Amino acid sequence: MAQGKVGKTVVSLGDYLKEQRTTAQLSLRQLAQQAGVSNPYLSQIERGLRKPSAEVLQQIAKALRISAEQLYIHAGIVSPDDGVGGSVEIAVLNDTALTERQKQSLLDVYQSFLALNATGQSTSPAAAGDEA
């Protein structure tokens, strides 16, 4: 089920990237070179076959001179609808002191807390069994 959602967001990311690339009048090869990624890898992203890391999205955004946040939204990393947490997610993604794996772990924990709060369950230390 999650795989279908990921595939959908990746395809829309690819379409968005291709649109931005053609608007910037860049060839696939030119954008790949400016973003510091391989031509085949960028082609796979545009065709929805690969989901790039936040770091790669930042490099592509810089090369296209567009907002990295827009790419995060199209990649499904940040949700524009939430109104909650966008700045936290963006801060984590932009933190150069963290590895990609650490960033993903933090985002996963953060999303789980948001989901837990949405169901109305308590996350206070006393409810979790910790003595405060």
Query: Is position 74 within any domain?
Result: yes
pLDDT at 117 over 70: yes
How far apart are the C-alpha atoms of 84 and 92, rounded to whole Å?
Answer: 14
Tell me, what's the pLDDT at 72? 83
Query: Is position 130 within any domain?
Result: no
Residue with tokens 């990295």: 68
Number of domains in the chain: 1
Q: How many other C-beta atoms are found inside a 10 Å radius of the C-beta of residue 56?
A: 20
Tell me, what's the pLDDT at 36? 96
Rounded to two decimals, the pTM is 0.61
Query: Is position 125 within any domain?
Result: no
- The CATH number for 86's domain is 1.10.260.40
How far apart are the C-alpha atoms of 68 and 92, rounded to whole Å?
Answer: 13
Give the pair of three-digit tokens for residue 6: 């990921």
pLDDT at 43 over 70: yes
Query: Is position 129 within any domain?
Result: no
How far apart are the C-alpha atoms of 33 and 8, rounded to whole Å?
Answer: 27
